[in-house]
Amino acid sequence: MSSATVIQSIAGTGARLPPLPTIRDLVRLYKLRAIKQLSQNFLMDERLTNKIVKAAGNITGHHVLEVGPGPGSITRSIIRKAPRHLVVVEKDRRFLPTLELLSEASAGFLRMDIVRGDILQFQTEQAFPDCPSQDWHDKRAPVHIIGNLPFAISTRLLINWLHEMSTRSGAWSFGRSSLTLTFQKEVAERIVAPILSERRCRLSVMNQIWSRPELKFIIPGK
C-alpha cells in the first residue's frame, strides 16, 4: 500500500557517521521483521529517508523527536543533519541494539536519547528541558517531530498533537513546532483535502484549523 509524507508546520554542514553496517545488514543480523499486528513498516532506501528528512527543513542545531524509529533508517538521515538533541521513542525492544549503535556512533557531535515507551503516553515537553520557549507569533520553534508512523495509531496520534497545538502544550509549549510524518495515502489526502473536495472530512477541518498541512510526496508501494 502506498503512503505519503505530510509536513505540518503550524505552527549547514552535515555530520558524518563512522562506518556502520547497513540497515539491511542489521535487520538480518538481529533477525528483525516488521510485525503486522503493530502495523510496522520499514523504509530501507537511504534516498527515501534522506528525502523525508529534507522535507522537514533545516534541523541542524535544533531539537528533534523521532517517532517509531524501528531499526534506525530515518534516524541515520536525521543524525547526518546534526541536530542539537535527538530523542527517539520506540515501543519495540527488538530495535534497541540498532538504536544504541547509532547513539554510540554519534556521541561525538550530538546528544541522542533513546526512550523505550509508547508515543501515545510520551510527554514531549519533557524531552527537551534546555529548549527555550518563544512567542507563538515569532518564527517557528527549533523543535521538529519526524516519524514513519505505525498506520494503526497515526490518526489518533495526529489528533492528540492537534489538541496540543490548540492548547499550546506538549511540543507546542516551545512555540510553533513542526511535524513531518508518513501516513497511508488515503489518510494524507483527507488531511489536505480542500473545501468542496469529496475527500474532505472532520480530519481535514481539524488539521486545517490548527496547521498548514502540505502533502510533500508519495512513497511508492511495493
Domain coordinates in residue numbering, the chain: 3-219
| pLDDT value for 108 | 86
Q: Are 179 and 9 in contact (CB under 8 A)?
A: yes
Is 60 exceeded by the pLDDT of residue 77? yes
113 is in an annotated binding site: no
Does residue 69 surpass a pLDDT of 80?
yes
Q: Which fold has domain 3-219?
A: Rossmann fold (3.40.50)
What's the pLDDT score for residue 43?
81
Is the confidence at residue 106, as pLDDT, over 70? Answer: yes
The rounded distance, in Å, linking the Cα atoms of 91 and 78 is 19
pLDDT level of residue 139 (50, 70, 90 thresholds)? confident
Is 186 one of the annotated binding-site residues?
A: no
The reply, when asked if residue 50 is annotated as ligand binding, is: no
Computed over every residue of the chain, the mean pLDDT equals 86
When pLDDT is averaged across residues 138-156 and rounded to a whole number, the result is 92
Residue 96 has pLDDT above 50, yes or no: yes
Q: Does the pLDDT at position 35 exceed 90?
A: no
207 is in an annotated binding site: no
Q: Is the pLDDT of residue 208 over 80?
A: yes
Amino acid (one-letter) located at 169:
S
